[in-house]
A and B are shown apart, each in its own frame.
Chain A
Amino acid sequence: MDRIVFGDNQFFGINHMSEEKAQSQAEHFKDNAAIIDVIDAAYSCGIHTFMFSTHERVAGLCNYFRAHPDKYAGLKLCPSIPYAYKYANAVNEKGILGAIDQFVFSGQGASKAIRTIVRSGITMINQDMIEVMKLLVDADMRMFEGLDVQAVFLQNTVTDILLGLRVKEVFIEYASHIHRMYGVDPAFNTMNMPDLVDFLLDCGIENPIVCSSINKAGFAMNPSRQAYEECLADRRFRPMAMSIFASGAIRPREAVEYVCGLPNIRSVVFGASSRGHIEQTKDLICSCWGQMETLEAATRT
């Protein structure tokens, strides 16, 4: 995994600081062309790994990447699945099984369709939630076909609900499905990093990739910043830091110095809307981490 990963929250109206800011970002990025401009700016700054949710507009971005292979040589993606509100709204309208139906059977190519229907037949007979989960993962992953996927992240709301259920089989099966189907490591976004890391290690998922908010303000670090710092120091896992600026609550240099000063952080995910901000943030991280190792794929495992 590269040490700097570019995130997509800003493109889709997600901003923890304020709903007003989120709204103005949603207006700014209403066309994919505006998003592509920012991606290109990040690319030209040497950032080649992007974390994407499976927001319906990401499918259009993926089409664009596939149509321009030369421009995006070396592009690496970290999908974060599923896009939770897509499901939440469908569940409200159609119920849980109706929503599953909608996502598993919509918009797929013929060969995939046959594969999915065969597995669906088995699933509907078994009515097994883990089998249903695999179908939904595959449905969400369709948009990334043919692109270089580095790791498949389980989105934080889903991770944390499942973590609360304390069902080990779900995590073990998710991990082995991602390995088997996509040949990459499973990864997890969470708002409860210390708890999740211990649970994953208990499940026998070794050296897991775990992405969580890590920032000097302690924002969204549950149960406490101290618990995060202890976990980072003591546990064997591959931590990725997101929300390092707590959506603007911390000054950039102070924010980056804190995160880069923590032990074992493997990667930082950040989002920005302009070339200036991207360059500034990248340069700050590079200067804190040391120019030599930054942007090289971390080969230690």
Chain B
Amino acid sequence: MLRGSIVGFGRMGLTHYSILNTHPRVEFVAICDSSAFMLKNLAKYVGAATFTDHEKMFREMKPDFAIVATPTATHAQVVECAIDNGIHAFVEKPFALNTDQGRNVLRLLQGKTIVHQVGYVNRFGDVFMRVKNLVDSGAIGEVLTFKTEMNGPTVLHGSKKTWRSKKQEGGGCLYDFASHCVDLVNYFFGPPDDVVGTVFGRIHSDGVEDTVSTTFVYKSGMRGNLLANWSDPSYRKPSCCFEVLGRTGKIIADLHSFKVFFSYAPNLDGFTQGWNQRSYTVFATPVRFFVRGFEFTRQLDHFIDCVLEGRPCRICSFEDGFKTDTIIERIRTDGERRGF
């Protein structure tokens, strides 16, 4: 049995707890949070030991792994403490608030056999996994352009009540929404060589941006656009989409389905020349225990498998998270140059 712990019991902490609490090889022994309401109820009903200080929790409970789902600004500090105590760590996205913090964590990891993963959950989504395989197979030829969007109704009123509305704590549309798009771009094509034309916009927020648009440029000639908006009331829930144009085909994908156009007759998976549509209702594989989406269970089970087998996480390691942070920082710098 692996002894688990959670730092930060908000919406994501709760989701992760629920998914892993049903894992046959995991037992949660401790939870750390700052909310008296949460701690009181966790102690009363859930039975895990509760803490307000993660350092004390790691020292006293000696868990095998920690799920870190605190506001982004504290990720690095909590993760460093976990590494110091020899505890495997899964951290919510984005990896850290800035590249200085991330670099320190990576330095601390050197020479240690700690398993680490960042929660970029789209890498585990049925559609994006398929689309990546399709792009990697060369079926649509050399990639020329792409565009990635994330839109949702997350902030529809001015509010200063949570960390998401504070830049210094990791709030804002760039960290919250655009980070998903940046990570998919990195996962598919590697980090861009240049980031240009960034514009941040405000709709409701005071301290942070509500919209982000930017352009990625690669030395190979490939280029892509990113658009993110967390204040779009026309969406029912946050939605991420990705469009890739290659020399011989084009893919348009969202979380549930993708369409692929081939300019030739491909001898592949029943696809034909012209448009083809595929929905995850046909190809999604069930999971051990489902909460909110197949991908949430898949990413945590990947982490636990790696811990159990003592191997590094292949799909979304801290190094991957750091690469995404690096691009996020370049977007930030490029956008602020325009006076935001």
Residues of A within 8 A of B (CB): 12-20, 22, 26, 85, 88-89, 91-98, 127-130, 157, 160-167, 169-170, 191-192, 195, 217-225, 246-249
Q: Mark B9-24, 1 if CB is under 8 A from A, else 0.
A: 0110011011101100
CA A97 to CA B236, docked complex, whole Å = 22
Q: Is the interface of A mostly helix, strand, loop or mixed?
A: helix
Cβ-defined contact, A161 with B153, below 8 A? no
Which residue of B is nearest A168, CB measured? B45
Q: A161, B41: Cβ atoms under 8 Å?
A: no
B290 adjacent to A166 (CB under 8 Å): no
B36 on interface, CB distance cutoff 8 Å: yes
Measured in the bound complex, the distance between the Cα atoms of B161 and A98 in whole Å is 9
Q: Mark B146-159, 1 if CB is under 8 A from A, else 0.
A: 00000001111101
Q: How far is the CA of A224 from the CA of B286 in the complex (A)?
A: 6
Shortest beta-carbon distance from A156 to chain B in Å? 9
Tell whether, in the assembled complex, residue B161 and residue A93 are in contact, meaning their CB atoms are under 8 Å apart.
Answer: yes
Q: A89 to B155, alpha carbons, bound, how many Å? A: 7
Give bound CA distance, A160 to B282, whole Å: 23
- Taking a contact as CB atoms closer than 8 A, the residue among A16, A88, A170 that contacts B256 in the complex is A16
Task: Judge if B40 is at the interface, Cβ distance under 8 Å.
Answer: yes
Contact, CB under 8 Å: A94 / B161: yes
Instruction: Give me the interface of B with A, judged by CB distance under 8 Å.
Output: 10-11, 14-15, 17-19, 21-22, 35-38, 40-41, 44-46, 153-157, 159, 161-162, 164, 236-237, 239, 241, 254-257, 277, 279-282, 284, 286-292
* Bound Cα distance from A82 to B15, whole angstroms: 17
Q: Which residues of B contact A88 (CB under 8 A)?
A: 11, 237
Q: Tell me if A220 and B15 are in contact (CB < 8 A).
A: no
Measured in the bound complex, the distance between the Cα atoms of B200 and A74 in whole Å is: 54
Taking a contact as CB atoms closer than 8 A, the residue among A89, A91, A160 that contacts B153 in the complex is: A89
The 9 closest A-B pairs by CB, nearest first: A164-B18, A191-B290, A249-B281, A18-B257, A129-B41, A222-B290, A246-B281, A222-B286, A167-B45
Contact partner, A220, options B21, B156, B289, B290, Cβ 8 Å: B290
Q: Contacts A93-B162, A95-B162, A98-B161: A127 and B22 contacting too (C-beta < 8 A)?
A: no
Q: Which of B161, B164, B281, B286 contacts A247 (CB 8 A)?
A: B281
Q: Given the complex of chains A and B, what is the CA–CA distance between A166 and B46 in angstroms?
A: 8
Complex-state Cα separation, A222 to B279, whole angstroms:
18
CB-CB nearest in chain B for A130:
B45
Knowing A19-B239, A247-B281 are in contact, say whether A164-B10 is a contact too (CB < 8 A).
Answer: no
CB neighbours of B256 from chain A (8 A): 15-19
Cβ contact within 8 Å between A127 and B36: yes
CA distance A1 to B164 in the complex (A): 44
- Give every chain A residue within 8 A of B241 (Cβ-Cβ): 19
Given A17-B279, A161-B291, A170-B45, A92 and B14 contact (CB-CB distance below 8 Å):
no
